[in-house]
């Protein structure tokens, strides 16, 4: 519905426990982790560059509130790689007794297994920069001696009524709920219009505005549907790429698309050729995964409307053709009745220089 591709791999932590135990053992052997009463901790001060992602200074960290009750840590900054089993919790056997892996080690191990020790891009919310991503870097680079990830891309939080959405507090709206109210492509456009690093406010007004913008793109597609195969305008595509290459500035790239749409419409209004702009817009929209083709109306039952109007047709196309005939015969009452009847079925007819076109609202 949203046009998203499924991930190639969707790993589960429970399917990679053996690899986690092996990595924890490796960290112990290298002297950067230690066992304590069935728990295993990473020694933060053994990793000299700890804090390089979040720009935290170890000596400035407030650590007292992170000491776990009963934990036998060498340092309050140290974090758990393995936790001894507790009643009612899932547990696996390990060299340090029955227990479960810590949260941070799960991500490091699965990233290394499926992406390699040194991969290109690591993503996540801004709320994960510290301590989670900082801990991932420390344990991964201590284990492999290699850089963990080349680029870090942290997205801003999605807010509802000015507050971060949170499942734990019940302050959230699900994606399926939003798709029941708005066109899936409008929801996609809503997310694309704000730079990924910035917080995003989820609101009815913002989604309605995205749906209106989507409508302008679809109207443009209907107006220019016969211009496929043209060479795209180089200037438009260069401007589009420049924004995409600038920290994935999709919002800026969208502004290039809408400016090209305005320029193309102005040319068409003046009777000029705009095929190069149309081709550029289509190519850019494809990059962003924005499918702006109108939904088909094959499932619309027009039999009652046709019978009411005394027409022997069974499709929207048939009714539109009948309207064209009525207009040619100057039977404007019938032509208007067809238009109004289709409008009641959420079908809009647009009269263009190339003939009547229809689309589903």
| 111 assigned to some structural domain | yes
Backbone φ, ψ for residue 337 (5° rounding): -65, -40
103 and 207 together in one domain: no
pLDDT band at 300 (very low <50, low <70, confident <90, very high): low
Whole-number average pLDDT of the chain? 90
Residues 152, 134: Cα–Cα separation, whole Å: 11
From residue 17, alpha-carbon distances to 47, 54, 99, 101, 228 in Å are 24, 28, 11, 8, 52
214 and 254 together in one domain: yes
Check residues 319 and 264 and name the one with the higher pLDDT: 264
CA angle 106, 133, 112 (to 5 degrees): 45
| 1 assigned to some structural domain | no
Backbone φ, ψ for residue 287 (5° rounding): -60, -40
Q: What pLDDT digit, counting tens, does each position of 84-112 carry?
A: 999 999 999 999 999 999 999 999 999 99
24 and 124 together in one domain: yes
Tokens of 152: 């870090």
Q: What pLDDT digit, counting tens, does each position of 334-361 carry?
A: 888 988 888 888 788 888 766 777 777 6
On the question of pLDDT at 68 being above 70, the answer is: no
**Which CATH number is 122's domain given?**
3.40.50.620
What confidence score (pLDDT) does residue 70 get? Answer: 47
61 and 132 together in one domain: yes
**Which CATH number is 180's domain given?**
1.10.730.10
Provide the CA 38 distance to its chain's centre, in angstroms.
Answer: 40
Q: What range does the domain containing 355 cover?
A: 303-360
What confidence score (pLDDT) does residue 212 get? Answer: 94
Check residues 224 and 354 and name the one with the higher pLDDT: 224
Backbone φ, ψ for residue 69 (5° rounding): -55, 125
Q: Is 355 exposed, middle or buried (0-12, 13-18, 19+ CB in 10 A)?
A: exposed
Size (the chain), residues: 361
Query: Structural domain tally of the chain?
Result: 3
| 131 assigned to some structural domain | yes
Q: What pLDDT digit, counting tens, does each position of 141-183 carry?
A: 999 999 999 999 999 999 987 777 777 777 788 889 999 999 9
């Amino acid at each position: 519905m949203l046009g998203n591709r499924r991930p190639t791999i969707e790993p589960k932590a429970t399917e990679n426990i053996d690899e986690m135990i092996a990595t924890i053992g490796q960290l112990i052997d290298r002297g950067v982790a230690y066992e304590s009463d069935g728990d295993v901790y990473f020694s933060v001060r053994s990793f000299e560059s700890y804090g390089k992602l979040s720009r935290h200074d170890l000596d400035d960290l407030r650590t007292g509130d992170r000491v776990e009750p009963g934990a036998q840590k060498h340092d309050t900054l140290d974090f758990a790689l393995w936790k001894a089993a507790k009643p009612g919790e899932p547990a696996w056997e390990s060299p340090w007794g029955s227990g479960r892996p810590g949260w941070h080690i799960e991500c490091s191990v699965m990233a290394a297994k499926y992406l390699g020790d040194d991969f290109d891009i690591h993503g996540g919310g801004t709320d994960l920069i510290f301590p989670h991503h900082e801990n991932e870097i420390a344990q991964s680079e201590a284990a492999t001696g290699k850089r963990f990830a080349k680029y870090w891309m942290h997205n801003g939080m999605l807010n509802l009524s000015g507050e971060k959405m949170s499942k734990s507090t019940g302050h959230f709206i699900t994606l399926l709920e939003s798709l029941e109210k708005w066109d899936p492509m409008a929801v996609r456009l809503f997310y694309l219009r704000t730079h990924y690093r910035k917080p995003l406010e989820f609101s009815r007004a913002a989604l309605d505005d995205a749906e209106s913008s989507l409508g302008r793109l679809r109207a443009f597609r209907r107006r220019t549907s016969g211009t496929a195969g043209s060479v795209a305008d180089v200037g438009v595509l260069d401007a589009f790429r420049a924004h995409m290459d600038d920290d994935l500035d999709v919002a800026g790239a969208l502004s290039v698309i809408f400016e090209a749409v305005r320029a193309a419409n102005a040319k068409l209004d003046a009777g000029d050729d705009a095929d190069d702009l149309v081709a550029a817009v289509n190519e850019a929209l494809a990059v962003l995964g924005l499918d702006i083709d109108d939904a088909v109306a094959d499932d619309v039952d027009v039999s009652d409307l046709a019978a009411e109007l005394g027409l022997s047709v069974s499709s929207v196309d048939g009714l539109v053709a009948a309207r064209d005939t009525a207009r040619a015969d100057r039977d404007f009452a019938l032509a208007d009745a067809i238009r109004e009847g289709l409008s009641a079925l959420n079908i809009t007819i647009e009269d263009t220089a190339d003939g009547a076109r229809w689309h589903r609202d």
